Amino acid sequence: MVRILGISGSLRAGSFNTALLHAARDVAGEGIELEIATLHGIPLYDGDAEAADGIPAAVEALKAQIRAADGLLLSTPEYNNGIPGVFKNAIDWLSRPASGIGELFGGRPVALIGASAGGFGTVLSQAAWLPVLHTLGVDHWSGARLLVSRAGQTFADGVLVDEKVRQQLAAFVQGFAADIAARR
Ligand SMILES: Cc1cc2nc3c(=O)[nH]c(=O)nc-3n(C[C@H](O)[C@H](O)[C@H](O)COP(=O)(O)O)c2cc1C
């Protein structure tokens, strides 16, 4: 069994990126368990709050989910051609204390997918993730790309309705999981 933790970078109840992870779970197939994590409850990073109170409970809970997973599937929106602050903020908290980055992220398989309302399907957001992933020392899986554009037409009531994207998503998740399994 390959255990993948999907993290959506959007807090919206109607998020296309969260819906993309639900669809990924549906198409994953045998031998793949896909859990979906939330960023709700993670406060804005504040070094004073960290010094006074330590790591927030919501961040510790997400760290525990990450440790329990064989790989991470990040479903990223694109805001102003970059990584949404909510998602980057969560990563910043997860990277604290810096002495724990290696244990949490080092060599961990990570793949990126994303959905946007526009025509370019998070291409610039996904590119903006690359230096962050490099800094964390993860093992970025680049065996496929999934750029879901015009998400308003790809999803209906939170359900993926585009068959071509469904097939691309299945191939992506299965390819990522196969790569994780092959490294064991
Ligand atoms: C502040 C802001 C900036 C945005 N910038 C972009 C952008 O640069 N490129 C893009 O394709 N969509 C952009 N959008 C539209 C998002 O793709 C759209 O809101 C999408 O639904 C967000 O993902 P979600 O459905 O998972 O919340 C932006 C939306 C917001 C709120």
Nearest alpha carbon to residue 92 among 36, 134, 136: 136
Ligand 1 within 6 A of CB of 15: yes
Residue 184 has pLDDT above 90, yes or no: no
Q: What is the CATH number of the domain that holds 92?
A: 3.40.50.360
For the chain, how many structural domains are there in total? Answer: 1
The answer to whether 115 and 81 have CB atoms below 8 angstroms apart is no
Residue 81 has pLDDT above 90, yes or no: yes
Residue 122 has pLDDT above 90, yes or no: yes
Ligand 1 within 6 A of CB of 75: no
pLDDT in tens, 135-163: 999 999 999 999 999 999 999 999 999 99
- Return the amino acid letter for 176: F
Categorize the per-residue pLDDT at 86 as very low, low, confident or very high, splitting at 50, 70 and 90: very high
Please give the distance, rounded to the nearest whole angstrom, from the Cα atom of residue 182 to the centre of ligand 1: 35
Ligand 1 pocket mutation, candidates 79, 88, 147, criterion most atoms within 8 A of CB: 79
- For the stretch 126-131, contacts whose Cβ atoms lie closer than 8 Å and that sit 24 or more positions apart, written own/partner, are 126/76, 126/78, 128/81, 128/82, 128/83, 129/74, 129/76, 129/83
DSSP alpha helices (H): ranges in the chain?
A: 16-27, 47-53, 57-68, 85-94, 101-105, 123-136, 151-154, 163-182
pLDDT in tens, 48-80: 999 999 999 999 999 999 999 999 999 999 999
Considering only CA atoms, which residue is closest to atom 29 of ligand 1?
Answer: 79
- Return the amino acid letter for 15: S
Domain extent, residue 177, equals 2-182
The predicted model gives 93-116 an average pLDDT of: 98
Q: Which residues pair with 36 in a beta bridge?
A: 6
